[in-house]
Amino acid sequence: MGKYDFKIPIGPQHPALKEPESFLLTMHGEKIASMTVRLGYNHRGIEKACEAQTYIRDIYLIERVCGICSHSHATCFVQAVEEIAALEVPKRAIYIRTLIAELERIHSHLLWLGVAGHEIGFDTLLMYTWRDREVVMDILAMLTGNRVNYGMNTIGGVRRDITPEQIPQILKAIDTLEERTKYYIQVATEETTIIKRLSGVGVLSYDDAVRLGAVGPTARASGVERDIRRDDPYAAYGELTFNVITDKHCDVYGRAVVRVCELMESYKMIRQILADLPDGPIAVKAPRKIPAGQALSRYEAPRGEDVHYVKANGTDKPERVKVRAPTLANVQVVAHMLKDGYLADMPIVIAAIDPCFSCTDRLISVKDTDGGDKNIMTWPALHSSSIEWYRKRGIDFSDLNRRFKVPEN
Amino acid sequence: MTEEDNIKLRLIQKFGFLSDKITVKRPRRIFAEIPLANFPETFDYTVKQLNFSILAAITGLDEGATLGFIYHLARENGIVLNLHTTAPKDKPVIKTVTEYFPAADAYERELVDLLGAQVEGLPGGNRYPLPDDWPANQFPLRKDWNVEMLDKMEHPEGKEAN
């Protein structure tokens, strides 16, 4: 540490960080000379809790490891248990699982794009992407009954079937989202503000990405062509045609490009899934007690490789459940990316690995304090009320919406 | 011969003591039992000669008299080799693998905090994932540890936790 260097502690509670984590930065002027990371503030003892509960209850607990990748963790877990119990999961169930997985990726990537926009002061992008994200959230809510923590999985299959009436609705939503994503690809590749703000920020070379074990879009944006969906196929991915998106920019800009382009692949996969959706049952009966054995399950979550190891001991409770979430692999990469970077880049560099946080709100409850009446505003009502609010003040957004072909709800 | 069988064969040719210790459970999943004394050389060979260039995770297990450690190593093409080794609970000492995989430090710190393993050569740094004032010799993932013990724990400064 030089004579004029100084240290800045950031976190565990900090306005620039969305989750509790703590960084101690050693600064050399405006540049970060070195940093240490302290994690664990959100450790909830889920692995230990899994050992005390039955497999069925564990699915719902595991689903709550992460608010956004909830289906990822639940699927990764049930895959391991099904392998130990040697269950033949019906093909229709596997396709439905894969469908939810790709819808979850769309919601996660759109959410990320908004966060990234916000972190660089481009809040218009945040508003656009989060509004469009509602389209996929509505589809997820229609299919599963929930916006996050879908509860679709059970050991041996899925809990809800897809009706023929739902399929055209999903396809219509995918068409809308594809149209919007083309616009975002245009924004990401042509908008000077984005290109200049993100290029050369949070650099991670190919060699460093491999050496430090980066996963997911973070690794793929450094040219590392790894995707568990293709390399270690699970669910229905072995039967789908898709490209693994990589980019050679090796910076935050590359990470943005990889994610928007991955959205297009997800739309492609969803159309294939719905076209080839097999008939038949959606689950097989699973035994309450799982025979002794072990299995390792891997899953390409929106943030990267998710790893679950399950050991069974012949009872109805697991002997051990180990979870390696993708963010743990990537947080270590962040320390490297920030080195020699500017302090002001820290929020976007951290956001660029897409660490997880949860969102469940879907209604606004307005209480009239005088009369005590409680009104529940639906999304369309809230939408028109906000347009009306601005119109009264001389700002009209309706024309803008028509120009970008925004869906009515 | 499948690629998995070829890996098994190469391991057995190199390390004769593994002859009945390797199982190919399904395509892309190989499990091997490695004695602790031979672990470093087996790990080195697996990473450097057999091209298992990805460390997906390290799982720690309480196996009664011993602590178990499973290193989930993967190849680019999706084949996973799970190397399982054990160390006695009264001397649960293993060597770090951070020289091969720098990012393994988080996985190894988990073994230290949650299971009470001692990892030789682990670089200094912040503990993970338990709080700084977690009492010594309390390892939550050990089978004899239960949540009720949290209420009885005393923090270093002498205050009751609640």
Instruction: Tell me the nearest-neighbour CA distance from A34 into chain B, angstroms.
Output: 13
pLDDT at A390: 81
Which of A179-183, A300-304, A357-361 is predicted with the least confidence, judged by mean pLDDT? Answer: A357-361
Cβ contacts of residue A44 below 8 Å, gap of 6+? Answer: none
Instruction: Tell me the nearest-neighbour CA distance from A191 into chain B, angstroms.
Output: 35
pLDDT at A169: 97
Q: In chain A, where does the domain assigned CATH 1.10.645.10 lie?
A: 46-352
Is B111 inside a domain boundary? yes
pLDDT at A278 over 80: yes
Which among A48, A298, A311 has the least Cβ separation from residue B140?
A48
Which among B57, B76, B106 has the least Cβ separation from residue A307?
B57
Burial bucket for residue A210 (CB in 10 Å: 0-12, 13-18, 19+): middle
Distance of CA B112 to the CA centre of its chain: 10
CA distance B153 to B17: 45
In chain A, what percentage of residues exceed pLDDT 70?
91
pLDDT band with cut points at 50, 70 and 90 for residue B146: confident
- CATH assignment of the domain containing B55: 3.30.460.80
pLDDT band with cut points at 50, 70 and 90 for residue A327: confident
Residue B116 to residues A47, A283, B58, B132, Cα–Cα distance (Å): 16, 41, 14, 15
Encode A138-169: b = buried (16+ Cβ within 10 Å), e = exposed.
bbbeebbeebbbbbbbbbbbbbeebeeeeeee
Give the pair of three-digit tokens for residue A217: 């879009």
The chain B residue lying nearest A228, using CA atoms, is B78
With CB atoms and an 8 Å threshold, state whether B61 touches A40. Answer: no
pLDDT at A379: 75
Is B9 inside a domain boundary? yes
CB atoms closer than 10 angstroms to residue A287: 12
Give the pair of three-digit tokens for residue A206: 């190919």
Instruction: Tell me the nearest-neighbour CA distance from A283 into chain B, angstroms.
Output: 22
Instruction: Tell me the nearest-neighbour CA distance from B140 into chain A, angstroms.
Output: 7
Backbone angles phi, psi at A193, to 5 degrees: -55, -50
Is B138 inside a domain boundary? no
pLDDT at A365: 42
Fold annotation for A46-352: Cytochrome-c3 Hydrogenase; chain B (1.10.645)
CA distance A299 to A228: 6
pLDDT at A366: 44
Is B139 inside a domain boundary? no
The string of pLDDT tens digits covering residues A349-394 is: 988 888 753 322 234 444 444 555 556 677 788 878 888 888 888 7
Residue B55 and residue B107 in contact, taking contact as beta carbons nearer than 8 Å: yes
pLDDT at A363: 42
CA distance A349 to A198: 9
Q: What is the mean pLDDT of chain A?
A: 89
Is B151 inside a domain boundary? no
With CB atoms and an 8 Å threshold, state whether A39 touches B106. Answer: yes
Which among A36, A212, A228 has the least Cβ separation from residue B103?
A212
Give the pair of three-digit tokens for residue A331: 């947080």
B52 touches chain A (CB under 8 A): no
Full domain range(s) for residue B115 = 3-129
pLDDT band with cut points at 50, 70 and 90 for residue A38: confident
Is B44 inside a domain boundary? yes
pLDDT at A396 over 90: no
Cβ contacts of residue A100 below 8 Å, gap of 6+? Answer: A71, A140, A143, A144, A150, A152
Residue A321 and residue A77 in contact, taking contact as beta carbons nearer than 8 Å: yes
Is B134 inside a domain boundary? no
Residue of A39, A82, A232 to mutate for B, most B C-beta atoms under 10 A: A232
Which among B53, B74, B129 has the least Cβ separation from residue A39?
B129
The chain A residue lying nearest B72, using CA atoms, is A296
Interface of A with B (CB under 8 A): 36-40, 43, 45, 47-48, 83, 210-213, 226, 228, 231-233, 294-296, 298, 305, 307, 309, 311, 319-320, 322, 324, 328-329, 331-333
Residue A250 and residue A204 in contact, taking contact as beta carbons nearer than 8 Å: yes
With CB atoms and an 8 Å threshold, state whether B106 touches A213. Answer: no
The chain A residue lying nearest B27, using CA atoms, is A232
Collect all residues of chain A within an 8 Å Cβ-Cβ radius of residue B149. none
CA distance A164 to A173: 15
pLDDT at A227: 97
B155 touches chain A (CB under 8 A): no
Cβ contacts of residue B18 below 8 Å, gap of 6+? Answer: B11, B12, B32, B33, B34, B42
Q: How many domains does chain B have?
A: 1
Instruction: Tell me the nearest-neighbour CA distance from B15 into chain A, angstroms.
Output: 24
